[in-house]
Structure 1
Amino acid sequence: MNIGIDMMGGDYAPSEAVKGIALYLNDDSKTCLIYCIGNEAEIQPLLDSCGIAGDPRIKVVHAPQAIGYNEHPTKALKEKPDSSIGIGFHLLSTGKIQAFISAGNTGAMLVGAMYTIKTVEGVLRPTIPTLVPKLNGTNGLLLDVGLNADCKPEQLNQFAILGSAYASNVLQIDNPKIALLNVGAEAEKGNLLCQATYPLLKDNEAINFVGNIESRDLFKDQADVIVCDGFTGNIVLKMAESIYEIAAERQLENDAFLSRFHYENYGGTPILGIDKPVIIGHGISNDRAFSNMIIQAEQMIASDFCAKIKSIFKA
């Protein structure tokens, strides 16, 4: 199992990525080969300082260029083929690695995923989810959370299929319950998008649709996968992030429930609907976040998630 990491992506690159790899490799049972893609002159001393320079599970791939946060994604990928993101996608597309992780330029990661790796045949639009902590200690899934601000009912219907597959294969949730985020529980409630999406989800035999869910019930156990357009989902995501910030300000961040809102617990966001596993991390990702992103990539590879998505949409 080979996993590539963009070592130059993130506010604290490459130090936190190296620390995250060290944290991951603390478990001697881990056998993944980690491709560290970035400036070797910067990476090697950090590997030495963390005591993992000679670990056979690490391979450094030199990338002399890096894509900054403010660069235009498409232009940067075209003009910087030797960037850590560019080389990462090349390794992924040629099969040298089986998953690619970055906390760098989100736009470049999305462009690379959609145009270098390609969308699974039959998928109208890829989507990005986020994990939602539930009061009972488990996690749910919310999608889309920002990739598709404007959606059609057919796209939301596919998001439900993608989310259901991720919940069952990666999160190991048996027969996940799917719900549509709406302003009321009744089938006729909501805007035109929700009203048109509801019957599609209800008639979709590939999912376990349980109806509408209101935002006040988001953290309860009424649904495992909650579907919405990316505009709505991103607002919910930012609100959830603010909950942890408020908890931290009030010194409540160690609360059993509120602590689970911290981004580092989940690592990153997978792009669902593309041919191979690609995970995008938060720009402020720390060592724990990077370690969890590697574990997340490992789970996606082990479950053969992308192949199962291809099979679902082929059928």
Structure 2
Amino acid sequence: MKKIAIDAMGGDNAPKAIVEGVNQALAEFSDIEIQLYGDKEAITKYLKAEKRVSIIHTAEKIASDDEPVKAVRKKKQASMVLGAQAVKDGKANAVISAGNTGALLAAGLFVVGRIKNIDRPGLMSSLPTVDGKGFNMLDLGANAENTAHHLHQYAILGSFYAKNVNGIANPRIGLLNNGTETTKGDPLRKETFELLAADDSLHFIGNVEARDLMDGVADVVVADGFTGNAVLKSIEGTALGIMRQLKSSIQAGGLRAKLGALLLKNSLYDMKNSLDYSGAGGAVLFGLKAPVVKCHGSSDAKSVYYTIKQVRTMLETNVVGQLVDEFSKKGDADD
């Protein structure tokens, strides 16, 4: 049985969206147990499932404007911290939260702990492509500054995840840069390029540009945390903007526009689904001793359900356990 701890009080729509997503996941998967951390009365109002779910009551939570490290250290009974502690104590196999991103990163690092020989875990998420296959990208903001060595490790982490979770035998690794030429980029990008090109264990395809990401140019895209976070928010904002503009144009276009939309209904739904990142699950803080996954702050029940599904797959494939073994071997080889 896969035991998943969930911060029921994190996010804009908590606990309603969190618990409704849990209801869906428990109905779909018979091999998971959910531990909900938070206000018992508020959680019970929405909880339909009766089996394989438990509520661990706490009135304390970490707010979105709390200073991350300070909050994790001082609010020991916060729902997010208790969930991470359950993983550390072996009572849960993974933790999910839609709450304060910085606090979850801090809880992951200080409570769950990073894997030996991984310098800085990266925040990784699956992003949409026009063909529906998607791609993984990291770092998306766990670290504002990175070295070429960190980015090299992100490529290894991303490739490992793509092989074991996404089932891609030989994932294409791209380095996000301001041009595809080998000579492009600042010193960080140039040094990273050399490291990735020299690593025979990676299928490195070279530099990739942001404008090509949604065309599926690579299976894994490597970036420093600052750049990756900016690109992530640009993609999310652009996708939402396109759908809003399309809807507004149809509504303002009169009968002809509405009839056209009706005829194109299936195609429009396909377009919406291809741009919808909620079905991809959450962002994984990859490089820790257990799955620590961040849902979007505005997650609805659907997004929570898919994040639980994602974590279930991670536990089923034992991707973190395999990663621990892999980096233990790397450490032994370097000694």
Q: TM-score, normalised by structure 1?
A: 0.93
Q: 1:302 aligns to what?
A: 316
Contact 2:129 2:275 in 1 (8 A): no
Letter in 1 for 2:142: L
> Quick check: 1:269–1:280 contact (8 Å CA) kept in 2?
yes
Moved more, 95-104 or 299-308: 299-308
1:269 partnered with 2:283: yes
Identity across matched positions, percent = 34
The residue type equivalent to 2:93 in the other structure is Q
Q: Which residue of 1 aligns with 2:297?
A: 283
Q: State the shift of 1:254 in Å.
A: 4.1
Q: Which runs of 5+ in 1 are unaligned?
A: none
Cα distance in 1, alignment partners of residues 202 and 22 from structure 2: 36
Deviates more, 1:290-299 or 1:246-255: 246-255
Please tell me whether the aligned partners of residues 156 and 228 of structure 1 are also in contact (alpha carbons under 8 angstroms): yes
Instruction: State the 1:255 CA deviation.
Output: 4.6
* Partner SS for 1:97: coil
2:257 matched to which residue of 1?
A: none
Q: CA deviation at 1:194?
A: 0.9
Please name the residue that 1:39 is paired with. 39
Count of matched residue positions in the alignment of Structure 1 and Structure 2: 309
In 1, Cα distance between the equivalents of 2:269 and 2:185? 34
Query: Could you tell me how far apart the structure 2 residues matched to 1:182 and 1:86 are?
Result: 36
Aligned with residue 128 of structure 1, among 116, 119, 123: 123
For residue 117 of structure 1, report the CA deviation from its aligned partner.
1.1
Q: AA paired with 1:118? A: G
Q: Deviations over 1:123-166 (max 9, x none)?
A: 11110122122233211111111122211111110000000011
Match of 1:184 in 2: 179
TM-score, normalised to structure 2, is 0.88
Gaps of 5+ in 2: 248-266, 330-335
* Mapped partners of 2:298, 2:209: distance in 1: 31
Tell which deviates more after alignment, 199-208 or 127-136.
127-136
Structure with the bigger percentage of helix: 2
Aligned to 1:241: 236
Shift of 1:261: 2.9
The aligned amino acid for 1:301 is L
Find the aligned partners of 2:100 and 2:153 in 1 and give their Cα distance. Answer: 26
Q: Which has the larger radius of gyration?
A: 2
Task: Name the SS for the 2:34 alignment partner.
Answer: strand
List per-residue Cα deviations over 1:154-200 (Å, max 9, x = no partner).
Answer: 11100000000111111111110111111222211111111111110
| Aligned 8 A contact 2:26 2:32 in 1 | no
RMSD between superposed Cα atoms in Å = 1.6
Structure 1 distance, partners of 2:143, 2:184, is: 22
d(CA) in 1 for partners of 2:142 and 2:58? 28
The Cα offsets for residues 251-309 of structure 1, whole Å up to 9 and x where unpaired, read as 36945245333332123101011110000111111100111111111011111111111
